[in-house]
Amino acid sequence: MPDLGALLSPQSVAVVGASPDTSIIRGRTLKVMLHHRYPGRIYPVSRSHSEVQGLKAYPSIAELPERVDLAVLTIPAATVPDELERCGKAGVKAAMIVASGFAEDKAEAGAAMQKRIAELAQRYDMAVCGPNAEGFMSAEARLCPTFSPAVETLDVPLLPERTGAGRVAVVSQSGGIGFSFFDRGRPREIPFSHVVTTGNEAALECFDVVDYLLDEGSAEIFILFLETIRNAGTFRRAAAKALQAGKPIIVAKIGRSEAGRRAAASHTAALAGEHDVYSAMFRHYAIIEGHDLEEMVDIAACFSAYRERLPAGRRVGIVTASGGAGGWIADASVAAGLEVPELDAETRGRIDVHIPSYGTSQNPVDCTAQAVRQLGYSKLASFVAASPRVDSVIVVVSARSAEVYERERANLDWVGRETQKPIVMWSYTLPGAAPAKILSAAGFPLIASMNNCARAIAAMAEYRALREQHSRAKESEAAPAPIRIDVARPVLCEYEAAPLLAQCGIAMPPSQLAKSAEEAVAAAKRLGGRVALKVQSPDIPHKNHAGAVALNVEGAESISRAYEAVLAGARKHRPDADIRGVLVQKMAPAGIEMIVGAKRDPVFGAMLMVGFGGIQAEVLRDTALAPAPVSIGDARELIGRLRARELLAGADIEALAATMASLSALALSEAVAEVDLNPVIVHPLGNGVSVVDALIVKRQDGRNH
Amino acid sequence: MPDLGALLSPQSVAVVGASPDTSIIRGRTLKVMLHHRYPGRIYPVSRSHSEVQGLKAYPSIAELPERVDLAVLTIPAATVPDELERCGKAGVKAAMIVASGFAEDKAEAGAAMQKRIAELAQRYDMAVCGPNAEGFMSAEARLCPTFSPAVETLDVPLLPERTGAGRVAVVSQSGGIGFSFFDRGRPREIPFSHVVTTGNEAALECFDVVDYLLDEGSAEIFILFLETIRNAGTFRRAAAKALQAGKPIIVAKIGRSEAGRRAAASHTAALAGEHDVYSAMFRHYAIIEGHDLEEMVDIAACFSAYRERLPAGRRVGIVTASGGAGGWIADASVAAGLEVPELDAETRGRIDVHIPSYGTSQNPVDCTAQAVRQLGYSKLASFVAASPRVDSVIVVVSARSAEVYERERANLDWVGRETQKPIVMWSYTLPGAAPAKILSAAGFPLIASMNNCARAIAAMAEYRALREQHSRAKESEAAPAPIRIDVARPVLCEYEAAPLLAQCGIAMPPSQLAKSAEEAVAAAKRLGGRVALKVQSPDIPHKNHAGAVALNVEGAESISRAYEAVLAGARKHRPDADIRGVLVQKMAPAGIEMIVGAKRDPVFGAMLMVGFGGIQAEVLRDTALAPAPVSIGDARELIGRLRARELLAGADIEALAATMASLSALALSEAVAEVDLNPVIVHPLGNGVSVVDALIVKRQDGRNH
């Protein structure tokens, strides 16, 4: 890995293509750097000027007076690869490329040039960011090689002066969006350590930057904007490191609406789309998914203030002088997954002496404008925070003018310092800059949107819970032994899948493959009781749809008839099907039908899925997904995430969880592309599960284990 | 109804309790009125001053030089009723009461005083607003009898100067929230005609004000904030009038999280909670539900701009210079229920000539910063708006500085005037005041939140669709004949409910009540085939839970055994139950189990519900609700709102809809509190439905029809 310190905290920078014309990118980038008073050395490189914006310019990178750490290339796409090579030869350690017209271009030349950038970065071990990016902002280094208007016209220092809050790093594949987080957060006094836009990621990827910043240490919270993740290893390493360090990541991953669910042989692959896989991976590392710019800034603001005092649970106390506003945010809190419990008698007693008879201390605590005038918001908030019934506090304020906050400033500072529970301010009026500054200095996030406020508190509680869950580690669990698959065909039907499942410890009901009606009758007799007859053909993965299944059959005559009917159904459905016989299987008792499956994601590898079975799976898509391996504890947690989980009350959830954990071994096998256990019938507690159908789709690239 | 014109557009106003001390409410209210230069006559009424804030003051309302239209009472609660009576006697036509300490007070005196206010309002035919309100703002009248800081410190005119947009009226039961809509919307150049806060609504209710304003005509869009609706008639009248006039209402109704689902005899009453009823009533009148302050202002802003050019459908075109931002809002659009279709070749061709090869005209149209610089946002937006594939356009902009908008101002004005499809601007950077002003003058809403932008467009499309649906009216349908219920007991079980259902045209499978095992066997023989046996007792509404049902029974011996088992189950479940016998019923064929029910809401009257039946209803709460009567068309639409509606593919939805419409007659009967048809088994298309259980709960106040 090249040295990202040379990129983000260089001692010296060359601006290749620098121009005196500040209306064009080549001039603006230098102007922005000078505007923010980068304290290191800047060398304009220009063929046509000996001086640019007051600095001595040099005709080429090779002719600089020193070997610079960073070259900022503000030149057109076509000239970038050669220039980058010159940089490499000159010993430059890092480069920032802003030009567009590479892999995102319809012309083929763009992709080729991008490939060359990647090769040069590797050859010269350069930290190359871009192309098609908007540059970056590195606050401590006071370095802004970017043409972003959010930084260009900034008339305050990059970092707010008075704040003890944790710093936020933004790493974004989109330049515009990356800087817009800063644009929205900086006026609210949120400290940003970095904004790095990675563009097309010819060399450096988003999670390379995150990984570096985790070690570098200045950022405590990360906001990421992703169009894709190119490398699962880089992602996993950085995500695990962030989780370990307790540095939350808030991510927006776009492409939900496109995430086409490809036509797939297995239900699992059809149900678990690309976005579901991303969500499962994010959840696995306690990464918080954001859904709007301001929302993500609000969540970051709350983490920034309370990173070391995260709420221990989801119970929130609400302090308000407006009954209507208090009731509304109570609704929003419940909708966000929080609870608004009644306060304890002791806390209520402490509050009641201060509020008039038309207020209430229940929760929301409607303390009336009168009590706010007398005591101030912070004092009232501290009363509520002291209640053992709440884990965090929302204070409903009107932050349009600073007057009231100036009056209680000492108390605000004190409460902000001393509180062990997050206290977050929601302003129902449009927040002004002055109140935001006072509240920020006292350590309180001030949020303009009610829903974002509730969501941010829920995200903090969720992050803490997921992190604690992770630390009760499972890393020590032995990896399951890989399963070898000796069947040559790409699709294994039930009778072929059963022995492999048995190797993982997943039993199916007794069965026998019959090649004739007579064999079917004999098999049924041996099995006893009612049986199911199911055609076995790799060409008919969905036997039910094909009418190639008969259930609950009993008696020689019925079985013979069913055998013929099942075969006829299969042949009608697909005349050229390779039919291996008819599986005669002992009927399982009734229960709740679930689907358990696995699929191999091209980026993240084996994923395990559980969901409600049958037609419900297709209509309601009530499924949950996690990366394999999945422990029994993970499996239990996964089942608990299903919307209709209450349907499983009284059922043998433990046996279902064990089946899911067992399927891990098979899911992890390199040879497996998709597995369906569908349905898995879950019986009442203590009676286990019956896996009554199975399908395995092998990977097409010939790997066998 | 008293004259609300005297309240909101008076010629003369008395301020009772007016004080020179502007730090207290009694002084501030007068100060705010003077600040906004109310052109009518203002008379301070003060016992202790002969002049207040430069105006001659009078010792009592009786001694004013004229009979004033409006008295603003800024005096303490205890003195309000007597003063109001003096106002009545003096011929004052309207009063605004701001004091707290009435029905919301824990002390009983408050409720009594509020009752007296209501009586006085009626006796003197006065338009009385409040108490416990924050006053109002009436823009055209330039009248602001309020102490709201949002108006007090406003340094621009109440109405923006240059706008052709429709005016927005806010009517709110909460003072703080009411004015906060204005506080957030006015800086964005949104024209507000009124903000009226109604507080405890001793006399005037929110929908009285809406009704008046609909006639008065200045407001085109309504934002409402409700804690409750006191009077269904007032609501229905105003809501219907607004819908008829095409003046959209955007409402927040709080209390969702409390909306306790009371323990109820019927599933329907348990499933359709208070909030579900409100949502059903809102939907019935195409009222849009909002979920946050800024969101509601954003929705109002879009309606204000495009009230007469609402989108004909849900297809949206997206214009962007940032690929990331375009992709993100495409996701948000799809999540909001919009579609982002690929543009037609002709439109693409017109765009392609203007954008570089690294852009794309697909949709989102990534036209790159270069094309925006050359053509401007408005031109690009008009290209996309011309596509027959879209109904509206989102333009992704950076509105932090005004430069780019100043440059294309003429084009913006032209496109804003000419476009027949809504074009809405979303700024990913924090919008500045100057761009907002230019865009607003050109007629474009500028929205800071991506999700609100998508939601606002979806709300416009939905409003138009619901309104068109309503205008294909059903008002002409004959009201169903009321059904008379002659059973004295409060709960009617299936055998008693069946004849009443038959009167409405709902048939149940053939059945017979048996009082002995022999009778049961004989009944089964007469019915033929397999039968169900179900205990009939008004004390056992949930027979299944009680184990007092046997299904699929056949043969004399089995029937005898089942008869005894069903009775034993009932007696074990409730030893003192009044058992009327065992209903022997012909088994219905299998199908999809639904629940159809009705309940009487204490405010809105009869409501009809449909949902998926069985344990799923309880777990997934997949139900839809509408006020009765429900036509077959309404019923179809209701079924179409179920999340799992796809499960009904191929089933006899028409028969289900007919059953729902038929139940209207019973639901409308004054005697009925709750009805369950549970389950209604829906058979394949053409095979109808089987209603195989029914329960009717009568109203407890003795009405019989």
**Nearest by CB to A180, which of B292, B321, B429?**
B429
Q: Does A328 touch chain B (CB under 8 A)?
A: yes
Helix (H) or strand (E) run with residue A256 in it: none
Which segments of A36-174 does DSSP mark as H helices, in order?
Answer: 80-89, 108-123, 149-152
Q: What share of chain B is helix, strand, coil (3-state, %, to 5)?
A: 40, 20, 40
Is it the case that residue B300 has pLDDT exceeding 60?
yes
Cβ distance A325 to B110 less than 8 Å, yes or no, reads no
pLDDT value for A700: 80
Main-chain phi, psi angles of A288, to 5 degrees = -90, 130
pLDDT exceeds cutoff 90 at B57: yes
Residue B663 has pLDDT above 60, yes or no: yes
DSSP characters over B28-65: HHHHHHHHTT--SEEEEE-SS-SEETTEE-BSSGGGSS
Q: A195 with A170: CB under 8 angstroms?
A: yes
Long-range (24+ apart) CB contacts under 8 A made by A58-61 are: A58/A14, A60/A86, A61/A14, A61/A16, A61/A86, A61/A87, A61/A90, A61/A92
Q: Is any Cβ of chain A less than 8 angstroms from the Cβ of B227?
A: yes
Give residues 17 to 46 of A whose Cβ lies within 8 Å of B: none
CB A117 within 8 A of CB A202: yes
Q: Is the model's pLDDT at B260 over the cut of 60?
A: no
Q: Find, among B181, B177, B180, B157, the residue nearest to B168 by Cα.
A: B181
Read off the pLDDT band of B477 (50, 70, 90).
low
Helix (H) or strand (E) holding B447: strand B446-447
B519-553 per-position pLDDT tens digit: 999 999 999 999 999 999 999 988 888 889 999 99
pLDDT, tens digit (0-9, with 9 covering 90-100), for B151-171: 998 989 999 987 789 999 999
What is the tens place of the pLDDT at every residue in B335-382?
999 999 999 999 999 999 999 988 899 999 999 888 998 999 999 999
pLDDT in tens, B228-254: 999 999 999 999 999 999 999 999 999
Nearest to A101 among B107, B184, B358 (CB): B358
A319 touches chain B (CB under 8 A): no
Confidence of residue B255 (pLDDT cuts 50, 70, 90): confident
Q: Which of A173, A331, A400 shows the shortest C-beta gap to B254? A: A331
Contact A256 B334 (CB under 8 A): yes
Q: What is the pTM of this model?
A: 0.95
Measured CA angle at B383 (ends B377, B389), to 5 deg: 125
Tell me if B177 and A328 make a contact (CB, 8 A cut-off): yes
Shortest CA distance to B372 belongs to which of B345, B404, B340?
B404
pLDDT of residue A582: 96
Reported as a single tens digit per residue, the pLDDT across B196-221 is 999 999 999 999 999 999 999 999 99
SS3 A446: strand
Q: How confident is the model at residue B265 (pLDDT cuts 50, 70, 90)?
A: low
- How far separated are the first and last CA of chain B, in Å rounded? 31
* Contact (CB<8Å) B100/A175: no
Contact B327 A107 (CB under 8 A): no
B245 touches chain A (CB under 8 A): no
Residues 151-180, chain B, touching A (beta carbon < 8 A): 153, 172-177, 179-180
Task: Report d(CA B187, CA B183) in Å as an integer.
Answer: 7
For residue B541, what pLDDT is reported? 83
B579-637 pLDDT, tens digit each: 999 999 999 999 999 999 999 999 999 999 999 987 777 788 889 999 999 999 999 99
CA gap A331, A323 in Å, rounded: 12
* % helix, strand, coil for chain A, step of 5: 40, 20, 40
**Who has greater pLDDT, B669 or B226?**
B226
Which segments in chain A show pLDDT lower than 50?
A: 259-262, 475-476, 704-705
Note the pLDDT tens digit of each residue in A305-336: 999 999 999 999 999 999 999 999 999 999 99
- pLDDT for residue A620: 80
Stretch 410-439 of chain B: residues touching chain A, C-beta under 8 Å: 428-430
- Provide the pLDDT for residue A618: 74
Where b means 16+ CB within 10 Å and e means fewer, B471-504 reads eeeeeeeeebeebebebeeebbbbbbbbebbeeb
Contact B105 A187 (CB under 8 A): no
Of B177, B184, B322, the CB nearest to A322: B177
Size of interface A-B (CB pairs under 8 A): 203
By residue count, chain A amounts to: 705
Least confident of B172-176, B392-396, B404-408, B611-615: B611-615
CB B405 within 8 A of CB B425: no
Beta-carbon separation of B357 and A101 below 8 A? yes
Chain A residues within an 8 Å CB radius of B182? none
Q: What is the mean pLDDT of chain B?
A: 93
The bridge status of strand B423-427 relative to strand B392-397 is: parallel
Q: How far apart are CA B205 and CA B229, in angstroms?
A: 8
Interface of B with A in 375-404 (CB under 8 A): 398, 400-401
Q: Do A322 and B358 touch (CB under 8 A)?
A: no
**Residue B619 is nearest to which of A325, A358, A647, comparing CB atoms?**
A647
Helix (H, G, I), strand (E, B) or coil at B386: coil
Asked if B257 and A107 come within 8 Å (Cβ–Cβ), the reply is no
